[in-house]
Amino acid sequence: MNGKGTPRTTGFSLLELLLVLGILVTFAGLAIPRYGNAVFRHQADVAARRVAADLRQAQSYAKLASTACTVSFSVDTEQYQLANVPSFDGQPGDYIVDLSADPYNAKLISADFGGATQMVFDGWGLPNSAGTVVIEVGSEQRTIAVDGETGEARIL
């Protein structure tokens, strides 16, 4: 009461609060799947860029060392390896990338380089064949194509 005998009417009624809550739940229901798809797109893009960059790295290393550099893909383990290339983290052994681990959480669907799952860059940085690598995160797929003449890796 406000002193004149009439009740106060500030605040919201239960019906108004339930109506607003219902609208918020509806918008959240629409936004969450879109957010999940955006995360899958981002992870697929990042994984594809990593594969393309590592193929370029292998090509550069082959030119720099004037020796062949092999990139081997293993569909079973979701990994690829740059043989005779030192790891960037300073650990002994070859440079190995696990696409199924964070931050990629990707599946290696296929790697085909003229019927083989490995690509060899010679001492001049030229590839032994053209090829493709296909990765998948959720419903998103990315294909990395390697030109057979120049060794250029592109994301399609």
pLDDT tens profile 103-148: 899 999 999 999 999 999 999 999 999 999 999 998 899 999 999 9
6-54 pLDDT, tens per residue? 666 677 888 888 888 888 888 878 777 766 678 899 999 999 999 999 9
Q: Residue length, the chain? A: 156
CATH number at residue 134: 3.55.40.10
Q: Is residue 35 part of a domain?
A: yes
What does each C-alpha distance from 16 to 13, 25, 35 come to in angstroms?
A: 5, 14, 28
Q: Is residue 99 part of a domain?
A: yes
Spell 119-142 as b/e; 16+ CB within 10 A means b: bbbbeebebbebbebbbbbeebeb
Q: Is the pLDDT of residue 1 over 60?
A: no
What range does the domain containing 29 cover? 14-155
Burial of 143 (0-12, 13-18, 19+ CB in 10 A): middle
For 120, the 3-state DSSP assignment is strand
Q: Is residue 4 part of a domain?
A: no
Q: Is residue 25 part of a domain?
A: yes
**Assigned token pair, 96:** 């190995």
Q: Are 95 and 32 in contact (CB under 8 A)?
A: no
pLDDT for res 32? 73
Domain count, the chain: 1
Q: Is residue 43 part of a domain?
A: yes
As a whole number, mean pLDDT of residues 95-107 equals 90
